[in-house]
Amino acid sequence: MIERLRQILIKEFIHLFRDKQARFSLLVPPLLQMLIFGYAATYEVNRISTAVLDLDHSQESRQFLERFTATSRFQVHDVLYSESQIPALIDHRRVVLVLQIHPGFAELLRKGQTAPVQAILDGTDSNTALIAVGYINQIATRYAQDYQLERAGRLTPSLAQFAPRIALEERPWYNANLESRWFFVPGVIGTLLLVTTITLTAFAVVREREIGTLEQLMVTPIRPAELIVGKTLPFLLVGLGTVIIVAVAGTLWFEVPFRGNVLVLLFGTTLFLTSALGIGLLISTLCLTQQQAFSLSFFYAAPAIMLSGFGYPVNSMPHALQLITYLDPLRFYLIVLRGTFLKGVGLEALWPQMLAMTLLGIGTLTLATLRFHKSLD
Amino acid sequence: MPSVNPSLSVDARTWFNEELESKNFIVPGVAAIVMTVVGTLLTSLTIAREWERGTMEQLISTPVTAMEIIVGKLIPYFALGMFDTAVCATIAVWWFDVPFRGSILTLTVGSGLFLTVILGLGFWISVFTKNQLAASQIGLVAAFLPSMLLSGFTFPIEQMALGVQPVTYIVAARYYIVILKSVFLRGTGLGALAGPSLALIVYAILIVFLAKLSFHKSLE
């Protein structure tokens, strides 16, 4: 049995690395994607393109607007002189935000009243708009505090030192600078692995069927189970290799910390790959042509990525969808990836995810083996 | 003595997406992803299959010209892609209550241009891979993942690292996403969309030309 398995493994490895294209597509795309997507994937909001319209022309309004020029969060592109200029700027996507100061701004402040600041936002990108409003509010509150303090100092210098100053200090754990790149780089590893493993496995079997070599293999002494192991083992090894390469690239290039245990990561990866291979095989038993195999892999992979928590947190999904996410191995693997990279936790915290992936792996592989026998008859 | 608490109140007014609902943008953007899959991936696979099985040579030996083969192969997928866009738009508006403020004409023209680019890309991939497995892997890397991650669909382009931003100009979906945002949320017509439409036209001409060139070359 070992000998037969060895033969089929040799055959599969030859298939995998035989031609230049295949070697290329196994190694280069994962690294390239890691680099490009590592730089593209961010939910941080900086350099918000801004225009300002100051109709008050006071020292206060100028000081207030200067605070927007001073921070890298905003980039003031245009200084307007009339309200009629606003629609064209936003329609042509030149700016995302227009800050407008009405006449009488300074006067209201001097009287100790509330002065309005008008912010007009392009809401087509809701995330940027929401975060921008948060920043504007922060700057406004800060400015008002400083203004009060300065004013109190002028009116009654003796009281100024007692003026209370409250600053809320937030201290996030695990990702102290809240870098979203740290959050996404491990996620990119998981998505890449899911897509490539499922399509490659599904293709490997369907291709033999399409060309007609699967029948030839079946008349050899090789048993179906051996064939399945022989077909999937190479992809497991390739997947593990990819994770190592991409994880090293991620930590060295993007300086994402790796705080956990490498063995825990590799163990989790093996379990994840097993369930991905099971799904790939299951797909292959349902398809006759590579085109079908691809469509079906895609039909699985696209929602699996969406529902995994890669881009949108699972907690904020509708309840019914949250239940579906339990069938998605990527959902569990992302927790393992982020746990080992960012939190440095080990098996004691990650065992539920490991268990879930084991169950999914056993389930899909059993189903695939059963269907595989049937599809040969 | 006046009150001692001068303060500021920020009055934020959002245009185009008043409730700041993320679904208003994500749902129509799905059309771009679906079209990329249909356009590049399915197309490159069917054509690569003909090469793999040797039936492409048979087709070529018939009196049908190269251009007729390309067009004939692509038209069904063009129709399929347009149909998918219509389905996506209908679901977005009727089921997810996404506003539709532009014109159907703008959407049709924009989708037609984008589909041409993406079909041309699929054809091109199949010509130089001639192999379904390679076509699928290259299609994933060259078309699907960029459309998903570099087009402005998931992550806003202005927020990407400055070195990556120029790369997004070669992602056709980038222009189509602008058109989709305009048609659904802004309600601007083709006039304001001259930039992205022109970019798609140039892109379409270029990619069809390149595909045809490598097709001829591969026949020699």
A194 within 8 A of A301, measured Cβ to Cβ? yes
Dihedral angle over CA of A327, A332, A333, A339, nearest 10: 170
A332 CB neighbour count, 10 Å cutoff: 28
Prediction ipTM score = 0.74
User: Containing H/E element for B145?
Assistant: helix B145-149
The residue among A377, A333, A15 whose CA lies nearest residue A201 is: A15
- Where does the pLDDT of residue A21 fall: very low under 50, low under 70, confident under 90, or very high at 90 and above? low
Out of B2, B12, B41, whose CB is closest to A294? B41
Quote the tokens at residue B171: 């992602």
- Where does the pLDDT of residue B1 fall: very low under 50, low under 70, confident under 90, or very high at 90 and above? very low
Chain B residue at shortest CA distance from A154: B4
B25 within 8 A of B181, measured Cβ to Cβ? yes
User: Containing H/E element for A186?
Assistant: helix A180-211
d(CA A363, CA A359): 6
Tell me the residue type at A140: A
Q: For residue B112, give how far its alpha carbon lies from the nearest alpha carbon of chain A (Å).
A: 22
Does residue A124 or residue A29 have the better pLDDT? A124
Counting Cα atoms < 13 Å in the Cβ hemisphere of A226 gives 17
User: Containing H/E element for A48?
Assistant: strand A48-54
Mean pLDDT estimate for chain A: 83
Q: Tell me how many residue pairs between chain A and chain B have CB atoms under 8 A apart.
A: 189
Write down the pLDDT at residue A126: 77
Write down the pLDDT at residue A360: 94
pLDDT in tens, A74-103: 889 889 999 899 888 887 778 889 999 999
Q: For residue B183, give how far its alpha carbon lies from the nearest alpha carbon of chain A (Å).
A: 11
Chain A residue at shortest CA distance from B16: A123
Specify the pTM.
0.79
Q: CA-based angle A135:A140:A142, to the nearest 5?
A: 95
Q: For residue B165, give how far its alpha carbon lies from the nearest alpha carbon of chain A (Å).
A: 8
Compute the radius of gyration of chain A from its Cα atoms.
29
DSSP state of A100: E
d(CA A308, CA A331): 4
Quote the tokens at residue A261: 């245990």
Please give the backbone phi and psi of residue B65, each rounded to the nearest 5 degrees, phi first. -85, 165
Is the Cα dihedral A208, A211, A215, A221 positive or negative?
A: negative
For residue B6, which residues of chain A lie inside 8 Å, CB to CB?
108-115, 144, 147-148, 151
